[in-house]
Amino acid sequence: MGTSAVTVVEILAILVLLQSALFCCSGANFNGSCIKIEREALVKFKTSLSINSSDSLPSWEGDDCCRWEEVTCENITGHVVKLDLSWASVQGKVSLHLGNLSNLQYLDLSSNNGLAIDSLHFPSSLKYLNMRSVLLDKCDNWLQSINMLPFLLESDLSSCGLSITGHVSHVNLTSLEVLTLSWNNFNSTIPNWLFNITNLQHLDLSYSAFRGSLSTEMGNLNSLAFLDLSYNSLEGKIPKTLNKLCNLSELHLESNKFSGEISGPFGNSSSCIQNSLENLNLFNNSFSGSLPNNLGQFKCLKYLLLSRNSFCGPIPVSIGQLYNLDY
């Protein structure tokens, strides 16, 4: 019995040693606390850039990329999980292919105004993406690239010079909660693929030259808490389906060409939007008709802006019941 017990202990010890040897000796993929193939991907990315000053990315030297500034690795595996190059003064026209950073979750290249990217390829592990102010006007595959990120939670593509809304037959952005596409130049209607991202909580399409009418399918986004469509050229009536957005707290429609009465989306006393809306901005449109009598039932309203429209008739007495109104 004693011999058998010793044998089991010896076998377990050998297995532990073999596992350690395999982990330490995989030199093709692992170097110190930095995985070789991932370090090479970072070096390739750096060499494709024009560095604005000698102070940019000075720590990106040596074998251990986990010690480089702007780079964060997972403590145990050594995988690169975060790359924050915001305000890093990097410049250049590059193709961004980071597929070898197979565990990257956070990528921030924002506020590098001299950076232009003509092709994108991200690892599917990405959860947070910020490309604000990175020029993507030559990047025709931006939507296809983003659509291959099933774990993506937040994406900021504002001020990227985008003009093509793109098309996908199937939307894979099932986790996306925050999408910012403001300050672009789409000059088109709002694309239908947006209405299939049903987990969206924050959608900002302001200042992006969207035109045409607002689709009734906007009501499909029933997780929305924030919707900004301001400073576009959207026109026609607001669809009644907006009153189905039961979680909406902020709605910005200012400075468009909307017209007609607002009783459709806001005049139904049984709609759930009146229980959540805190900020309603309809400034500078062409709305007409009388104000809904049930405005006073929007008990959560703190900010209400209706000026520069063509409303007529008396102000509803119920507005006096908006006890939380600040403006």
Do 61 and 193 fall within a single domain?
yes
Query: Is the residue at 202 inside a domain?
Result: yes
Are both 38 and 24 inside the same structural domain? no
Q: Is residue 281 part of a domain?
A: yes
- Judge if 136 and 2 occupy the same domain: no
Q: Is residue 133 part of a domain?
A: yes
Assess whether 110 and 211 both reside in one domain.
Answer: yes
Question: Which strands form 90-97's sheet, in the order they lie side by side?
Answer: 50-51, 90-97, 115-121
Q: Is the domain of 264 the same as that of 193?
A: yes
Same domain for 10 and 51, yes or no, is no
Contact partners, residue 22, CB within 8 Å, separation at least 6: none
CA max distance for the chain: 98
User: Does one domain contain both 69 and 13?
Assistant: no
Residue 33: pLDDT band (50, 70, 90) is confident
| Residues 98 and 158 both lie in one domain | yes
Q: What is the pLDDT of residue 57?
A: 83
Does 156 lie in the same domain as 295? Answer: yes
Contacts with 173 (C-beta within 8 Å, 6 or more apart), sequence order: 146, 147, 149, 150, 152, 197, 199
Pairing of strands 90-97, 50-51: antiparallel
User: How much is the pTM?
Assistant: 0.88
> pLDDT tens digits for 74-107?
999 999 999 999 998 888 888 888 989 999 999 9
Indicate whether 327 belongs to any domain: no
Structural domain for 267, as ranges: 33-321
- pLDDT for position 27: 36
Give the least confident one: 53-57, 98-102, 170-174: 53-57
Check whether residue 22 and residue 117 sit in a common domain: no
- Percent of the residues in the chain that have a pLDDT greater than 90, as a whole number: 75
pLDDT band at 261 (very low <50, low <70, confident <90, very high): very high
- Are 164 and 26 part of one and the same domain? no
Question: Is residue 234 domain-shared with residue 163, that is, in the same domain?
Answer: yes
Structural domain total, the chain:
2
C-alpha torsion angle, residues 313, 320, 278, 227 (rounded to 10):
0
